[in-house]
Amino acid sequence: MADRSLIFPADEYRRRVGALQRELGHAGLDALLLTTAPDIFYVTGFLTRFWESPARPWFVVVPAAGDPVAVIPTIGTTLMGRTWVDDIRSWDAPDLVDDGVSLLADTLIEIVPARGAIGVPMGPETHVRMPLADHARLTERIAPRRFADATAVVQRVREVKSEAEIEKIRATCRIADTAFACVPEFARPGGSLVEVFRDFQIALLKAGADWVSYVAGGAGPGGYGDVISPADDRALRAGDVLMLDTGAVRDGYFCDFDRNFAVGKATEPARRAHAALDAATDAALNAIRPGMTARDMHRILTGAMHAEGVTPAPGRLGHGLGLSLTEWPSLTPKDGTVLREGMVLALEPGVEIGPGQIMVHEENLVLRAGGAELLSSRAPAELPELAG
Amino acid sequence: MADRSLIFPADEYRRRVGALQRELGHAGLDALLLTTAPDIFYVTGFLTRFWESPARPWFVVVPAAGDPVAVIPTIGTTLMGRTWVDDIRSWDAPDLVDDGVSLLADTLIEIVPARGAIGVPMGPETHVRMPLADHARLTERIAPRRFADATAVVQRVREVKSEAEIEKIRATCRIADTAFACVPEFARPGGSLVEVFRDFQIALLKAGADWVSYVAGGAGPGGYGDVISPADDRALRAGDVLMLDTGAVRDGYFCDFDRNFAVGKATEPARRAHAALDAATDAALNAIRPGMTARDMHRILTGAMHAEGVTPAPGRLGHGLGLSLTEWPSLTPKDGTVLREGMVLALEPGVEIGPGQIMVHEENLVLRAGGAELLSSRAPAELPELAG
């Protein structure tokens, strides 16, 4: 489309607001206050990398009925004005005396009855993106109105992706597929991980990523130590296992999957680990159905890895994704979130190969009525070998 | 260095912790609780793009005396173990039942006397990166210990950069200089802003950026509408003014400056706007001295633009930078922050050219005893013209 700042037709956003309003109704809440980039993008289509600046808070209020109201710094009014949101109130931020608190309080007082409750996501995987002292001031200003937890309101709506959203995530996954296919061109023994990360990011951009919000990885003899480190200057050597993981972004939607490579000829333990991860992924892809829970998938993945004779790595074995690199639910023993049709998930089983050596494999899928539909192109069953 | 995950020798971090502890002492605080990426990187050297995942909270506690304690998800212990921090406590996050609250509460209770106060940045330009409900639980758990505002503790220390930090920011500015010099190679009439943004990010990576956390810009006939929008598909045309702005990152340190270009021959209003911005920047670079305030610089920049016969654009006219794309202070009429030797600042005057048309110019500097030392290579006084 000519103006990519809107991303979707207004109807998509109206549908989302309607769904949020139904959940607000069920929860007995009179409005929803949103402060983070993904929540505000979800409701409005307001997409900017300017969130990288922590200087200014941004607010969107979704009333129990009617259209959302944006209460934002003046610097964002032009861009917000291109979205479907009509009611845009702004102040000249940053303002050391009153950084939007009065404007937001007045808006909430206008929208919410005096004994009403305003939902704010305050549970797991959330944070309130505004100064804590201003949140306390706001709480006083709006009394007797009060804030209440609205984590479930947002999560139950956002976690089920529309077909339009699924197409966006699929497109971003294709971009990562294309970039991963280029890895053998630039990852070679003697080259450093710094260079590999740089070339991988360039490959993602050339394949169509708008930007690359996340690249991590690791390389080490027979396995790597963790999956969140930035690149170091160590040269790749034959016998290493190299992993690259990315959250590229296109039209505001993330992919999140990784690929493993043997540098030179794969060692037997690395081949076995990769085969076990492939088998566990198969087991999960074949088993997953709407109505199962996040913890069911943890059990299936763990069980499949044990059946393969390998030791699962600690930590969660998958998660949601879409408007963020990671979203709820978490595939852990404690997460009873019910999996529903339209959820987009990363399956991320990991195994311990040796002390301080792990291998993690990741695929992205959308859950359909009949089971998993892959969004990433499935990794080859055999650990690929980079020219030695 | 071989392991870039540490970035600086341990002495640099010890010095920082010592400075924070002196401020804690002056403020009568018994510890400092940090939750955000730049604050935690500042104290520990823990650098990862994994902050992109909102799933897990991370905590570092700086006691009034002694070394910091990291209370972090298990997934980060390998990387944190490579920093100078010895006391690392971890839990298997995300945990829907207790996501680090008990472990953090126990740590604070161990470190802080019962009637003590724990500083948390909760003022302007801050947020607490943990679920609000968990913050409330934590507040109960640590009573009678209490949380108190520590915004000034962190800001007075972090805002004065060490020579080692200044070298890092200078290096990142050089990377952006190199990439800006390549713009004429890829920005041409007929090409879209999407393509220009992609090529600009590739140029930043090739010039040595570890990653590109921020690119924004705009293009339009005679000026652009805002400075925070993502790229659109509109083709560049002769007569456009193109602006590109970036926060590239190298070793965890940002640059933040922009450059303007005329597509084809520059129009007279665009040339005048650029010349006025250049003159205002000169005025500010010549005038700035330690002991002046942020609002003094706003007045000087505004006065210089009026003297040039142009209308200043609304909003702040500069800010700090370093570990984030933007840091305090804000060059606004309300910010009385005293400018000190070692502060790194972006000067960012903007002018209104016509309705919905602005031009913004930005340079980065470090404040020395005798005045400004540029970190960005000064933009040419005349608006550069891209081949038409």
Averaged in consecutive runs of 10 residues, what is the pLDDT profile of chain B (388 residues)?
A: 68 98 98 98 97 98 98 96 97 97 98 98 98 98 98 98 98 98 96 96 98 96 91 92 97 98 96 98 98 98 98 95 98 98 98 93 98 98 90
> What does the pLDDT look like over A221-263, one tens digit per residue?
999 998 998 898 889 999 999 999 999 999 999 999 999 999 9
Contact yes or no for B324 and A128 at CB 8 A:
no
N-term to C-term CA, chain B: 45
pLDDT of residue A1: 32
Contact yes or no for A4 and B201 at CB 8 A:
no
Nearest to B94 among A4, A229, A330 (CB): A330
**Residue of B33, B46, B53, B358 to mutate when probing chain A, most A C-beta within 10 A:** B53
Alpha-carbon distance of A216 to A112, in angstroms, equals 44
**Structure letter (DSSP) for residue A51:** G
Q: Is the Cβ–Cβ distance between B126 and A116 less than 8 Å?
A: no
Q: Is the Cβ–Cβ distance between A227 and A218 less than 8 Å?
A: yes
Q: Which residue has the tokens 């209490």?
A: B146
pLDDT of residue B1: 33
What phi and psi, each to the nearest 5 degrees, are found at residue A50? -65, -15
Minimal-distance CA residue of chain B relative to A229: B48
Alpha-carbon distance of A197 to A291, in angstroms, equals 39
Tokens of B370: 């005798």
> Which residues does residue A160 pair with via DSSP β-bridges, in sequence order?
A343
Nearest to A132 among B79, B128, B228 (CB): B128
Contact yes or no for B210 and A194 at CB 8 A:
yes
Q: What separation in angstroms does the CA of B28 have from each of B17, B21, B150, B178?
A: 16, 10, 10, 46
Residue A50 pLDDT greater than 50, yes or no: yes
Minimal-distance CA residue of chain B relative to A196: B210
Average pLDDT rounded to a whole number, residues A270-284: 98
Residue among B329, B363, B333 nearest B349 (CA): B363
Handedness of CA A269, A270, A271, A273 (dihedral sign): positive
Alpha-carbon distance of A203 to A186, in angstroms, equals 10
Contact yes or no for B127 and A122 at CB 8 A:
no
DSSP result, B121-168: --STT----S-HHHHHHHHHHHTTSEEEE-HHHHHHHHTB--HHHHHH
Tokens of B2: 């071989």
Alpha-carbon distance of B2 to B167, in angstroms, equals 18
Tokens of B82: 């490579």
pLDDT of residue A388: 63
CB atoms under 10 Å from CB of A251, counted, come to: 17
Distance from CA of A3 to the nearest CA of B (A): 6
**Residue of B47, B228, B360 to mutate when probing chain A, most A C-beta within 10 A:** B228
- Specify the amino acid at residue A284: A
Q: Is the Cβ–Cβ distance between A219 and A241 less than 8 Å?
A: yes
Please, what is the average pLDDT of chain A? 96
Contact yes or no for B228 and A48 at CB 8 A:
yes
Contact yes or no for A78 and B229 at CB 8 A:
yes
Residue A5 pLDDT greater than 80, yes or no: no
Minimal-distance CA residue of chain A relative to B202: A202
Query: In this structure, which CATH number among 3.40.710.10, 3.40.50.720, 3.90.230.10, 3.40.50.1000 belongs to the domain A163-386?
Result: 3.90.230.10
Contact yes or no for B54 and A125 at CB 8 A:
yes
pLDDT of residue A232: 87
Contact yes or no for A205 and B201 at CB 8 A:
yes
Contact yes or no for B79 and A228 at CB 8 A:
yes
pLDDT of residue B2: 37
Domain boundaries, chain A: 10-158, 163-386
Alpha-carbon distance of A63 to A32, in angstroms, equals 6
Task: List all residues 6 or more positions away from B18 whose beta carbon is below 8 Å from its beta carbon.
Answer: none
Q: Is the Cβ–Cβ distance between B38 and B12 less than 8 Å?
A: no
Q: Is the Cβ–Cβ distance between B106 and B142 less than 8 Å?
A: no
pLDDT bin (cut points 50, 70, 90) of residue A91 is very high
Task: List all residues 6 or more positions away from B268 whose beta carbon is below 8 Å from its beta carbon.
Answer: none
Q: Which residues of B touch A3 (CB under 8 A)?
A: 232-233
Q: What separation in angstroms does the CA of A385 have from each of A162, A240, A258, B20, B80?
A: 38, 10, 15, 49, 31
Tokens of A170: 């699929």
**CA atoms lying within 13 Å on the CB side of residue A225:** 12
Show the CA angle centred on residue B348, arms to residues B313 and A35, nearest 5°: 80
Contact yes or no for A131 and B124 at CB 8 A:
yes
Contact yes or no for B132 and A128 at CB 8 A:
yes
Residue among B174, B119, B379 nearest B261 (CA): B379
Show the CA angle centred on residue B204, arms to residues B201 and B209, nearest 5°: 115
Q: Which residues of A touch B118 (CB under 8 A)?
A: none
Tell me which fold the domain A10-158 belongs to. Answer: Creatine Amidinohydrolase; Chain A, domain 1 (3.40.350)
> What does the pLDDT look like over A324-374, one tens digit per residue?
999 999 999 999 999 999 999 999 999 999 988 999 999 999 999 999 999
Q: Which residues of A touch B216 (CB under 8 A)?
A: 48-50
pLDDT of residue B5: 55
**ipTM of predicted assembly, 2 dp:** 0.97
**How many CB pairs (< 8 A) connect A and B?**
234
Q: Which residues of A touch B194 (CB under 8 A)?
A: 4, 210
What phi and psi, each to the nearest 5 degrees, are found at residue B51? -55, -20
> What does the pLDDT look like over B365-387, one tens digit per residue?
999 999 999 999 999 999 999 98
Residue A2 pLDDT greater than 50, yes or no: no
Helix (H) or strand (E) holding B197: helix B193-206
Contact yes or no for A55 and B326 at CB 8 A:
yes
Nearest to B230 among A5, A206, A230 (CB): A5
pLDDT bin (cut points 50, 70, 90) of residue A203 is very high
